Structure 1
Amino acid sequence: MTLPAVPMSVAPEQQPAVPPERSSRALDVALRIAGGVVVVWAGVLAAVLELIFATGAWELVKGRPGGVSKAVVGISGAVGGAGGVVALTVLLGWFAYAAVGARWAVALAAVPWFVVIVAGGFRTTEGDLALTGDNVLGLALVVAGAVTFAVLGFRQLVAPPPVG
Structure 2
Amino acid sequence: MTPTETAIPDETAPQEKKRGWEPVIVAGGLVVAILAAFITGVLEILVTPLRAGDVVTIWRGDAIGSGSGPPIGLAILLAVVANYAIGWFAVSTTGKRWALAPPWALWTLMMLFAAGVRTNEGDYLISGDDWVALVMILVGSLSFAVYSYRMILRRIPRGPVPDQR
TM range (shorter): 0.7 to 0.9
Which ranges in structure 1 are unaligned for 5 or more consecutive residues?
1-11, 65-69
Match of residue 117, structure 1, among 111, 120, 124: 111
The letter for the 2-side match of 1:118 is: L
* Structure 1 residue 141 corresponds to structure 2 residue 136: yes
Stretches of structure 2 lacking an aligned partner (at least 5 in a row): 53-63, 161-165
| 2:83 counterpart (79, 82, 89) | 89
Residues 39 and 96, structure 1, Cα contact 8 Å, conserved in 2:
yes
CA gap of 1:103–1:57, structure 2 versus 1, over 3 A, is farther
Superposition map of 1:43-58 within 5 A: 43-57=37-51
Separation in 1, partners of 2:102, 2:7: 40
Q: 1:36 to 1:159 in 2, by over 3 A?
A: same
**Distance in 2 between the 1:13 and 1:85 partners?**
56
User: What is the aligned length?
Assistant: 142
Residue 124 of structure 1, CA deviation: 3.3
Q: Does the 8 Å contact 2:51/2:67 carry over to 1? A: no
Distance in 1, matches of 2:87 and 2:7, equals 38
- 1:57 is displaced (CA, Å) by 4.4
What letter matches 2:90 in structure 1?
Answer: A
- TM-score norm. by structure 2 comes to 0.73
* SS of match in other structure, 2:48: helix
Aligned with 1:35 (options 25, 29, 41) = 29
One of 116, 122, 129 as aligned partner of 2:124:
129
Q: Structure 1 residue 160 and structure 2 residue 126: aligned?
A: no
3-state SS of 2:115 partner: coil
> 1:9 corresponds to which residue?
none
Q: Does the aligned pair in 2 maintain the 1:85–1:144 contact within 8 Å?
A: yes
- Which of structures 1 and 2 has the larger relative contact order (alpha carbons within 8 angstroms, sep 6+)? 1
Give the % identical residues: 24
- The CA distance in 1 between the partners of 2:24 and 2:31, in whole Å, is 11
User: How far apart, in 2, do the equivalents of 1:96 and 1:38 lie?
Assistant: 8
- Separation in 2, partners of 1:160, 1:92: 21
Bigger radius of gyration: 1
| RMSD value, Cα | 2.6
- In proportion to residue count, which structure has more helix? 1
